[in-house]
Amino acid sequence: MSKIGKQKIVIPEGVEVAVGDDFVILKKDKNELKVIRLPGVVISYDAAKKELVFSLVNVTKQTKSNWGTERSLVWNAVQGLTKGFEKTLVLEGVGYRITKTGEDLEMNLGFSHPVRYKACPGIQFEVIKNTTLKIRGVNKEVVGQVAAEIRALKKPEPYKGKGFHYEGEVIRRKAGKKAVATSGA
C-alpha cells in the first residue's frame, strides 16, 4: 500500500479543481495546470470538503506505483499554484555575468560570444548582482528543466569551480598539477 497515495489533498481557498477522464485541471487566478491521469488510479473530488481522494481500481505492481505518483503530481500542482517554485543558480568565474534583456537572459560565460536564453512561458527570471539567478514559476517540472538547461551551458569545473552551480550545492574540487607534484612521490 502506498503511504503517499492514501493521503488526501485538501484544496486551499481560491484553487478550482476539475477532474476529467484524461486530466486533472487546477486553476488559480490566471494560472492553470493540467496533470495527466495515470491508469489504474481513481480520483474523486468532494466539493463540500474541498478534498481530493485517490484510490485504486485493481491492485497490481504498476497501479500501486501510479497511485503515489499521481498523488504527488497533483500535490505539486497545488503547491505551485499557491506558493510557486524557485531554483537559484550561482555563477562563479572572473568576467562571467548574467544580464536580463526584456524577459530573456544574456550571459557572458567565457565564450567568444554572449549566450542568449529565451524565457519559457510561465517562467520569471530575477538577476541579483550579475552572478545570481532566481528562476520562478508555478510548474515544478518546468522550473527544474529550465534550471538544468541553464546550468548545462557552463557546468562547474572541478579545479576552480567556475560555472553555474545550484545554491547550496557542494562542488567536489580537485588538486591541481602543482599541488599533486609537491605532495611527494
> CATH: 1.10.1740.10, 3.40.50.2300, 3.40.50.450, 3.90.930.12. Which one for 9-82?
3.90.930.12
- pLDDT tens profile 78-130: 999 999 999 999 998 888 899 998 888 999 988 899 999 998 888 999 999 98
pLDDT tier at 1, thresholds 50, 70, 90: low
- pLDDT tens profile 11-39: 888 888 888 888 888 988 888 889 888 88
Distances (CA, A) of 110 to 21, 98, 163, 183: 50, 12, 9, 32
pLDDT tier at 148, thresholds 50, 70, 90: very high
The CA distance from 49 to 166, in Å, is 39
Average pLDDT of the residues in 156-180: 84
Cell matching residue 122? 510561465
Calculate the average pLDDT of the chain: 87
pLDDT cut 90: percent of the chain above it: 31
Topology of domain 85-166 in CATH is Outer Surface Protein A; domain 3 (3.90.930)
The domain segmentation of the chain, as residue ranges, is 9-82, 85-166
Q: Do domains 9-82 and 85-166 have the same CATH topology?
A: yes
> Is residue 174 pLDDT above 60, yes or no?
yes
pLDDT tier at 141, thresholds 50, 70, 90: very high
Distances (CA, A) of 81 to 23, 76, 94, 114, 145: 16, 9, 38, 34, 18
User: Are 56 and 44 contacting, i.e. CB atoms less than 8 angstroms apart?
Assistant: no
> Is residue 131 pLDDT above 60, yes or no?
yes
Name the residue type at position 53.
V
> Is residue 184 pLDDT above 80, yes or no?
no
